[in-house]
Structure formats: structure tokens, C-alpha cells
């Protein structure tokens, strides 16, 4: 595996393999000194053309805990402002002998394009509305940690699915791992066609809630909406928000996930965001472990040694 571009097309075996590898890094992250020398001498650059809090900090933390060097590029303070193209920006990074580029870009497909131009590994940290593979892996890991397995779980993904790369990656990851997915949104917030998506659909959150193990909430991605897709945010909250009353009707074992950033009071009531069953901070913690596993998988052992030998060394280092 050289790149991590998307979840679509990944087999259950390869997803499972990454989740099992993540267990080792979760163990390292629980140590007093959560750092191993596994990627010493490697350099990881983050190339973010869109805003981010969690994803970027998480990738940087993951790389540092593996002892890789990190470089951080943000468009607002770079020569992209002077008209430099994506390709020239990328080739500049590569000329510095970077081993991996973590890219977030507003255009769907940008990471695939980079992977064609560059020799180093490319990791997709979100491309337009298309994919956000490490988010899906950390969500799957969080559910596996809570329930033991995703097999047979029923997951409702609620909200602005049309503009959500998180929803797209998660539909593939959750269903490949044996869960059943129901999308809950007004028609205007669903993609124009769901042909080929292995999902059910509903516009009735109240009917769906008592039937699910997981409610996965999405933010209204207003920056991507160039027309009014819901009458008002208040009406959206009234029909599709996870209010205190609605949360009280969830099954006892049901959990709530959200990729962040949350808009408290819109898709999730402030009190619900603070419930024990809301796993947002577990998701963030697991994000570091998952990204360590992915960086390790892509970058370690490129010199011929196997991943498990490297990890033994990392564990003992």
C-alpha cells in the first residue's frame, strides 16, 4: 500500500488490517511517553488548502509520535497566494525529499492527481465532497472499540449528506465492515442520485431513532451550499436536530458520533453533546492512533523489513 486516497473499493480485509494495526498504536498512546522511533528519518508534510483543526493537528501529532519530522504548509501564508499551481507546489515539496504528503483540497480528486505526479506517499485528508478516509477509519475504530465489531450494527447518518465527504467515506467503511446504513435528511440535502450506494433512506428522524445503534450527525456545510437548501436553521433543528427529547428516545446502548466541528444548538443540542453516549472526544483520541497506523503502514518497512518487525522494534525502542 503506497497511498491512502479513498475508502471506496477497499476490501473488508484491508480495513480490518488497518483497524487491528491501530490497536497497537492505541496502546502506545496510552503510555506515559507516547512516542516510538518507528519513522525516525522520515518527513511528513501537511498540505492544507482548506481549514482544519482536528485533522491537521491529529496528523501532525501522529507523525511526531512516530518520530517523523513534520512540515506544515498552509495556503494562506504560501506562494499559492502568488499564483503557484498545485503541481508546482507539490514538486517543490518533493524536491525537498518529503516521504509523505497529507493533503486537504477543495477539489474532488486532487489527491489522486498528486499521487500521479509525485513519487512519495499521498494521504487524502479530505477532497471536496468526495472522501475523507482517515475520518472513516477512526469512526469505524471508535465503533469497534465500543461494540466489539460493526457486524449487524444499524447506523443512521443524519444531515447534510450531499456536501459531506465524511458521509461518503463512512458509507463505504461501515457497510464493508458489516453495518447497515440509513441516511436521514431532507431531499434537498441528499445527493441527486444514490444509485450504487448500499444504503436505505428516510426523511423521518423520529421513526428511525429507536431502531439504530449509532446516530452519526453532520454539520450543515453552509460554505458549500450556494442556495437555500433548508427553509431556516431553526426548522432544520426542529425536524433533524438531535434534541434532548430525541436523545432520550434512543436505545440504551446507542451512541452518538460527530466528526466535528459541532454546531451546538443546530444539529446537536448542547446537553446531548456532553452526554456519556456522545463519543466525539473518543473519536478525536482514536484519530491519532488511526493516523499513526496509516503512516506506519505506508512509510515503515519500505526498506524491505516487514511491518511487524518494525513495530516490534518500535515497541522496544
Indicate if 168 belongs to the active site. Answer: no
CB 290 within 8 A of CB 22: yes
User: What's the order of all strands across the beta sheet hosting 121-127?
Assistant: 69-74, 43-48, 100-105, 121-127
In the complex, minimum distance from the CB of residue 288 to ligand NCD, in angstroms, rounded to a whole number: 13
Binding site for ligand NCD (CB under 6 A): 54-55, 126, 132, 135, 165-166, 219, 221, 259-260
Q: Which is nearer to ligand NCD, 223 or 312 (CB)?
A: 223
Q: Which is nearer to ligand NCD, 132 or 297 (CB)?
A: 132
Indicate if 82 belongs to the active site. Answer: yes
In the complex, minimum distance from the CB of residue 126 to ligand NCD, in angstroms, rounded to a whole number: 5
Q: Which is nearer to ligand NCD, 166 or 177 (CB)?
A: 166
Nearest-CA neighbor of 106 among 58, 165, 168, 161? 165
Buried residues in 111-147 as b, exposed as e (16+ CB within 10 A): bbbbbeebebbbbbbbbbbbbbbbbbbbbbbbbbbbb
Catalytic residue among 3, 42, 65, 104: 104
Catalytic residue among 65, 132, 162, 258: 132
In the complex, minimum distance from the CB of residue 129 to ligand NCD, in angstroms, rounded to a whole number: 9
Indicate if 55 belongs to the active site. Answer: yes
The C-alpha torsion from 134 through 287 and 18 to 313, rounded to 10°, is: 130
Between CA 102 and CA 130 the distance in angstroms is 16
Indicate if 35 belongs to the active site. Answer: no
Catalytic residue among 55, 89, 134, 142: 55
Provide the residue count of the chain: 317
Indicate if 188 belongs to the active site. Answer: no
The single residue listed with the C-alpha cell 493533503 is: 103
Q: Which is nearer to ligand NCD, 29 or 135 (CB)?
A: 135
In the complex, minimum distance from the CB of residue 52 to ligand NCD, in angstroms, rounded to a whole number: 6
Q: Which residues are catalytic?
A: 54-55, 82, 104, 132
Amino acid at each position: 500500500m503506497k497511498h491512502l486516497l479513498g475508502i471506496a473499493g477497499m476490501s473488508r480485509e484491508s480495513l480490518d488490517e488497518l483497524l487491528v494495526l491501530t490497536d497497537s498504536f492505541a496502546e502506545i498512546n496510552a503510555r506515559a511517553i507516547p512516542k516510538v522511533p518507528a519513522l525516525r528519518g522520515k518527513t511528513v508534510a501537511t498540505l492544507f488548502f482548506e481549514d482544519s483543526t482536528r485533522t491537521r493537528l491529529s496528523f501532525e501529532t501522529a507523525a511526531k509520535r512516530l518520530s517523523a519530522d513534520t512540515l506544515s504548509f498552509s495556503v494562506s501564508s504560501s506562494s499559492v497566494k502568488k499564483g503557484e499551481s498545485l503541481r508546482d507546489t507539490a514538486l517543490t515539496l518533493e524536491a525537498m525529499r518529503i516521504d509523505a504528503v497529507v493533503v486537504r483540497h477543495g477539489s474532488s480528486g486532487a489527491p489522486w492527481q498528486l499521487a500521479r505526479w509525485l513519487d512519495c506517499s499521498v494521504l487524502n485528508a479530505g477532497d471536496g465532497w468526495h472522501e475523507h478516509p482517515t475520518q472513516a477509519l477512526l469512526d469505524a475504530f471508535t465503533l469497534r472499540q465500543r461494540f466489539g465489531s460493526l457486524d449487524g450494527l444499524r447506523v443512521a447518518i443524519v444531515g447534510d449528506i450531499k456536501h459531506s465527504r465524511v458521509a461518503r467515506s463512512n458509507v463505504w467503511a461501515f457497510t464493508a465492515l458489516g453495518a447497515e446504513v440509513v441516511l436521514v435528511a431532507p431531499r434537498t440535502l441528499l445527493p441527486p442520485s444514490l444509485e450504487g450506494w448500499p444504503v436505505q433512506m428516510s426523511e423521518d428522524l423520529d421513526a428511525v431513532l429507536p431502531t439504530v445503534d449509532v446516530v452519526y450527525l453532520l454539520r450543515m456545510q453552509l460554505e458549500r451550499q450556494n442556495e437555500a437548501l433548508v427553509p431556516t436553521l431553526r426548522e432544520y433543528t426542529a425536524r433533524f436536530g438531535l434534541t434532548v427529547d430525541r436523545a432520550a428516545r434512543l436505545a440504551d446502548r446507542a451512541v452518538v458520533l460527530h466528526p466535528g466541528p459541532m454546531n451546538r444548538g443546530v444539529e446537536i443540542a448542547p446537553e446531548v453533546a456532553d452526554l456519556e453516549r456522545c463519543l466525539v472526544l473518543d473519536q478525536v483520541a482514536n484519530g491519532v492512533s488511526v493516523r499513526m497506523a496509516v503512516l506506519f503502514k505506508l512509510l515503515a518497512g519500505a526498506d524491505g523489513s516487514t511491518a511487524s518487525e518494525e513495530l516490534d522494534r518500535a515497541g522496544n525502542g
